[in-house]
A and B are shown apart, each in its own frame.
Chain A
Amino acid sequence: QVQLVQSGAEVKKPGASVKVSCKTSGFTFNIYGISWVRQAPGQGLEWMGWVSAYNGDTKYAQNLQGRVTMTTDTSTSTAYMELRSLSSDDTAVYYCARSKSVAAAKGTFDYWGQGTLVTVSS
């Protein structure tokens, strides 16, 4: 069965970086895309960006451009999201999610990781 398993909770100081992993199984990783979505405490969902496991193409939300990098490792079927220059506004649960289709439905997310809480505090 399709599974996305994320790395554990992180506590970071302002200005630091965090790298969250999303290990997948149960499907052919290198033909799909993975998006990252975050949710601040008590808030809604914010799409952060998308990475293609096929060719490494990326799309990032404009408000995160320059601070975020999304990558994949096809040898381990794992996706990564690195966020730099953290502030308290980045405190959130971060989710990875698989695109439903390799073609048209890139922006539809059919399987999600369990979430990783990133807390930014001095």
Chain B
Amino acid sequence: DIQMTQSPSSLSAYVGDRVTITCRASQSFSSYLNWYQQKPGQAPKLLIYAASSLQSGVPSRFSGSGSGTDFTLTISSLQPEDIATYFCQQSYSTPWTFGQGTKVEIK
């Protein structure tokens, strides 16, 4: 199974800050990497697919990059509505596995 490791586990930032979350895979798989946002009490929501493609309807302040084993989710200017937990997930091979999540809070 491919293990996905996110860092940090949590972060606190000011509104307007640039926020970066990283995800490392235990083996290389090109760009089969997705990012999801989950707010408390809600289902996850797809933000980024194929490492860098923005899902329809998602604000352009979200972006993704990376390939191989190292991937990044960036929020260019943190907004209050971005408070959530973010998960990376590999869709290269089953079992499709998720990172442990990064909780984003406002300072």
Q: Name A residues whose Cβ lies closer than 8 Å to a Cβ of B.
A: 35, 37, 44-47, 50, 59, 61-62, 95, 97, 100, 105-110, 112-115
Contact = CB atoms under 8 A, between A and B. Distances in A.
Nearest to A35: B96
A112 B87 CA distance: 15
6 contacts: A47-B98, A105-B91, A107-B91, A107-B92, A108-B91, A109-B34
Nearest to A106: B91
B100 interface: yes
A108 B55 CA distance: 11
> Would you call the interface of chain B mostly helix, strand, loop, or mixed?
loop
Interface of B: 32, 34, 36, 43-46, 49-50, 55, 87, 89-92, 94-101
Contacts of A59: 94
A97 B36 CA distance: 12
B91 A61 contact: no
Contacts of A110: 46, 49, 55
Contacts, number: 60
Contacts of A50: 94
A114 B43 contact: yes
B5 to A, nearest CB: 12
Contacts of B97: 47
**Candidate in A62, A108, A113 with the most chain B CB atoms within 10 angstroms:** A108
A57 B36 CA distance: 26
Nearest to B100: A44
A44 B94 contact: no
Given A44-B98, A47-B95, A107-B32, A95 B87 contact: no
A68 to B, nearest CB: 12
